[in-house]
Amino acid sequence: MKYVGMYTQVSRNNRLTFFLLLMFPILLLSMVWLYLVLLSYCGIEDNSKYIDVGSDVNWASVNKDFLCSLPWVVGIVGVWFIIAYFFNAWMVKKATGAKPLERRENPRVYNIVENLTMTAGMDMPKINIVDDPQLNAFASGIDRKSYTVTVTKGLLNVLNDEELEGVIAHELTHIRNRDTRLLITSIIFVGIITTVMNVCIRSLYWITSDDSSSSSDDDDNKGGVLLAFLIAIILCLIAYVFAIMTRFAISRKREYMADAGGAELCGNPRALASALRKISDKPGLDKVKRDDVAQLFIIHPQGLKGKRGWSFFASLFSTHPDTEERIKILEQF
């Protein structure tokens, strides 16, 4: 795959980040407005206790309720996003169990990172390590203060210097191309939608399992609330599908670009190909429960299941391209 160049990729990622920042509030507010429309259509707005599906939509009431909810939705999501955005480093470290790696603990890694950053003309990132005998690596962070390259202990033990240099060059390219900032943004957006879905599902479960009241009016009221939560869950699922598909498209593209940029930076594409082959035999960090964080890894822990009989449909929802295809492209350099 032809490398399009650092500045072109940075510009592209900046535009995608802006698009996500613009698209997500529009998507979320559209879901809120549509939710109010469906409530009105089902006849359960204005605290009605009765369901009258097929009633006329009260547009004036819908728009009034939407304008009243607008500042709350924007405010809550805005604060949520800001907190998650600036605490992303802590979030990733907690999910993976990564710890800072001091120079005295492994000067080999520091020398490789320093040489590559000087070649690339970029600042030295932080270096973290995960105590895992399996193999993997990833880059994270949103700015110079938080940019981090993380490797597993198994990776350092198995790869030779040239292969390790190829992997680190790959991760530095993610940082140089602003991939990490773009992915952190998409992770936060998908996380917000997922949390809203979980709240709706838990509330729905609580309502359906609450048998404390048995009067006819209470049953009618419960039915209206139940339908409202079902509508919310359906709309959240729609929003989640759109958000997750955007994340998949971003993830696949960035891996090919990072492979090409890493090969260019280290000057040894076959070393990176050899490293990917070794990592694919024993991809680590499979104990990480958050798939949104796992998409940062150079090879997803489940990334090779397509070779073992997974359906074509499953491969469409993979956040990483096929590892064998990546190796084949690198060996053509």
Verify whether residue 171 is a known catalytic residue: yes
Q: Are 261 and 177 in contact (CB under 8 A)?
A: yes
User: Catalytic one among 45, 163, 165, 171?
Assistant: 171
Looking up tokens 């006819």, which residue turns up?
A: 216
Q: Are 88 and 258 in contact (CB under 8 A)?
A: no
Looking up tokens 């480093």, which residue turns up?
A: 89
Alpha carbons 118 and 139: distance in angstroms, whole number:
18
Tokens of 19: 């698009």
Which residues 6+ apart lie within 8 Å of 56 measured at CB? none
Q: Which of 233, 238, 138, 250 is nearest to 186 (CA)?
A: 250
Query: What does the angle CA 108 – CA 114 – CA 120 come to, to the nearest 5 degrees?
Result: 140
For the four alpha carbons of 286, 100, 270 and 293, in that order, the dihedral sign comes to positive
Packing angle of the helix pair 88-96, 59-86 (nearest 10 deg):
70
Q: Which of 24, 28, 23, 21 is nearest to 73 (CA)?
A: 28
φ/ψ (deg, to 5) at 57: -75, 130
Alpha carbons 107 and 112: distance in angstroms, whole number:
9
Q: Which of 201, 251, 259 is nearest to 231 (CA)?
A: 201
First CA to last CA across the chain, in angstroms? 9
What residues act catalytically? 171
